[in-house]
Amino acid sequence: MRDVEYALGESRFAGRLIPVMVRHTKNFPWIFQHMTMLDFKNPAATSRKVAAMLRVTPDAEDSRKAS
């Protein structure tokens, strides 16, 4: 849990935290309910989604706006 709290508080991780539900549980940090959570049913599809989400980071969006 401390790792999650640390990452959420660090600006360098903004837009780069992607929760992935590996197995269903009711015990997970409440903040994940407010984030896009991926389900790990299909590892290949989940990997593609994570890669696509990481391509659109706040830094990438800022550099596109500046162009």
Please list the pLDDT of the chain residue by residue as tens digits (67 residues).
788 888 888 888 888 889 999 998 888 888 888 888 899 999 999 999 999 988 876 655 555 555 4
Q: Is the pTM of this model over 0.85?
A: no
Parent domain of 35: 2-66
Q: Phi then psi for 38, rounded to 5 degrees?
A: -95, 150
Q: What is the pLDDT of residue 58?
A: 62
Complete DSSP assignment for 12-56 = GGTT----EESS--S-S-GGGGGS-PEETTSHHHHHHHHHHHHHS
* Overall number of domains in the chain: 1
Q: What is the pLDDT of residue 59?
A: 59
- Region label for 57, one of left (φ > 0), alpha (ψ between -120 and 50) or beta (otherwise): beta
Q: Which amino acid is at 12?
A: R
Residues paired with residue 7 on neighbouring β-strands, in sequence order: none
